[in-house]
């Protein structure tokens, strides 16, 4: 199922408009801090903003080699092509607090312009990205409330672990939650249901050298388009003022729109505790099991251990380990053992420094295993309530037991971003 670029772009715009023009800041760019007075909307305010970002990216997609590159026998570049890109990102954030109907909207459209300064053929891959978050809460302070949300993202960061680089993803998830807090609120039970879809499009003009399986070829990624229906139940019992027992259960029904992947019915259940060990240390610990109820079967132990240390009101650290089981294209299931950490510091109320990273050890059903690493560091400075500047460096690495450039690469990104917010 091929989706032409114009159709994708038009779908992105229509989807954002369908959400009332709402969106969240894109995953690759933090939402600008609110500044100025904004525009009064009922009991809330609307804050328009505009980001201008320059990004030097060593891995935007796969293109035919230029004169400065060594040609391969197939005539293709063996590596991801680099490029200097410009991001033009208008958006707005709307917050309407209310005890009857609280409303939060956050939206942006992002035009990504590949300048052609590093890869001559990349300009035609310039495209429209965007993101959207909508959250509406009916009677948020009542014992029984209703939450309706929708998340939309179009970017080159896919949620499907099996697929390689050079792919543009369109993802949308609609979710309904019904929090119920009987009595004094010490117990909270939240049934929920969600439906998500993800579609893929190649970001580039060619396939990587050495790709012998469909998962590493961006040109055939659309065969892994899918829908995912989720039913879940969350529970929390606060047996101490700052400590609670938590329960997280759910079933995912994963189906693929095209041939090439096996459907999955995955059930998960985890039980644990979350709370403060001391005034400065918070810990979350959960353990459970995940099981594929489809004919293929397969199950494993699940768990999470995470700690947050508040060194001071302006300096915090977080680290943890997570083991999950998820449905995935081409293989059915994968197990992810992830170690991660993050640090944030605020200086003078204006300068923020952040550093975060993680390592994922991914095992797919069958013989494939991947190691994925990520790093994100940089500062952000707020010159005025309406003007901020951010810069940083991002590293993404991936090595797989399956050969092919699409799933074996290292990607470096440096960026600088100015944000204007009214």
Q: Is residue 422 part of a domain?
A: no
Q: Confirm whether 18 is domain-assigned.
A: yes
Q: Measure the CA angle with vertex 347, ends 344 and 353; round to 5°.
A: 35
What pLDDT digit, counting tens, does each position of 183-233 carry?
Answer: 778 999 999 999 999 999 887 666 676 777 778 778 888 889 999 999 999
Please provide the distance, in angstroms rounded to a whole number, between the alpha carbons at the two ends of the chain.
42
Q: How far is CA 412 from CA 110, 200, 315, 407, in A?
A: 21, 23, 27, 15
CA distance 399 to 369: 9
CB 58 within 8 A of CB 413: yes
Mean pLDDT of 283-287: 97
Residues in the chain: 422
The dihedral through the CA atoms of 223, 122, 21, 350 has a sign that is positive
Q: Is residue 283 part of a domain?
A: yes
> 47 in a domain, yes or no?
yes
pLDDT of residue 15: 39
The pLDDT of residue 65 is 59
DSSP string of 133-177? Answer: EEEEEESTTSSB-EEEEEEEEEES--S-TTS-SSEEEEEEEEEEE
pLDDT confidence bin for 42, thresholds 50/70/90: confident
CATH code, domain carrying 30: 2.40.160
Total domain count for the chain? 1
Distinct helix (H) and strand (E) counts, the chain: 1, 19
Q: How far is CA 4 from CA 125, 131, 200, 294, 412, in A?
A: 12, 20, 11, 34, 28
Q: What pTM, to 2 d.p., does this model score?
A: 0.85
What whole-number distance in Å separates Cα of residue 40 and Cα of residue 224?
A: 44
Q: Compute the average pLDDT of residues 56-71.
A: 67
Mean pLDDT computed over 383-410: 90
Is 339 inside any structural domain? yes
The Cα 269–Cα 273 span in angstroms is 14
Range of the structural domain that residue 322 is part of: 5-417
Say if 352 falls within a structural domain: yes
Alpha-carbon distances of 243 from 28, 203, 249, 285, 318, rounded to whole Å? 34, 47, 20, 12, 18
């Amino acid at each position: 199922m091929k989706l032409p670029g114009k159709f994708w772009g038009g779908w992105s715009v229509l989807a954002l408009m369908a959400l009332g023009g709402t969106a969240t800041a894109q995953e690759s760019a933090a939402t600008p801090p609110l500044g100025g007075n904004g525009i009064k909307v009922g009991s809330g305010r609307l804050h328009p903003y505009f980001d201008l970002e320059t990004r030097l990216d060593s891995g935007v997609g796969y293109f035919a080699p230029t004169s400065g590159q060594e040609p391969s026998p197939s005539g293709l570049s063996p590596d991801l092509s680099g490029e200097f890109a410009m991001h033009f990102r208008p958006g707005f954030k709307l917050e309407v607090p209310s005890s009857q109907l609280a409303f939060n909207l956050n939206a942006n459209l992002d035009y990504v312009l590949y300048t052609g300064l590093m890869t001559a053929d990349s300009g035609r891959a310039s495209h429209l990205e965007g993101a959207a978050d909508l959250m509406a809460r009916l009677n948020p302070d009542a014992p029984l409330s209703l939450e309706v949300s929708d998340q939309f993202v179009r970017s080159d960061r896919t949620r499907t672990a099996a697929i390689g680089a050079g792919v543009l993803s369109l993802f949308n998830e609609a979710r309904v939650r019904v929090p119920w807090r009987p009595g004094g609120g010490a117990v909270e039970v939240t049934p929920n249901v969600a439906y998500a879809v993800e579609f893929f499009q190649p970001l580039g003009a060619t396939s990587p050298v050495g790709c012998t399986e469909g998962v590493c070829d961006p040109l055939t990624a659309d065969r892994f388009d899918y829908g995912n229906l989720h039913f879940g139940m969350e529970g929390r019992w606060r047996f101490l003022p700052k400590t609670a027992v938590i329960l997280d259960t759910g079933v995912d029904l994963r189906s693929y729109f095209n041939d090439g992947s096996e459907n999955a019915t995955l059930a998960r259940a985890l039980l644990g505790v979350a709370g403060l060990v001391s005034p400065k240390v918070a810990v979350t610990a959960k353990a459970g099991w995940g099981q594929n109820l489809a004919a293929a079967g397969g199950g494993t132990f699940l768990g999470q251990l995470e700690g947050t240390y508040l060194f001071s009101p302006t300096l915090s650290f977080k680290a943890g380990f997570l083991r999950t089981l998820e449905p995935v294209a081409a293989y059915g299931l994968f197990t992810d053992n992830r170690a991660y950490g993050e640090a944030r510091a605020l200086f003078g109320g204006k300068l923020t420094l952040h550093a975060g990273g993680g390592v994922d050890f991914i095992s797919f059903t069958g013989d494939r295993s991947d190691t994925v690493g990520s790093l994100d560091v940089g500062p952000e400075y707020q010159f005025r309530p309406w003007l901020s500047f951010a810069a940083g460096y991002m590293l993404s690495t991936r090595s797989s037991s399956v050969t092919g450039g699409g799933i074996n690469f290292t990607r470096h990104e440096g960026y600088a971003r100015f944000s204007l917010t009214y």
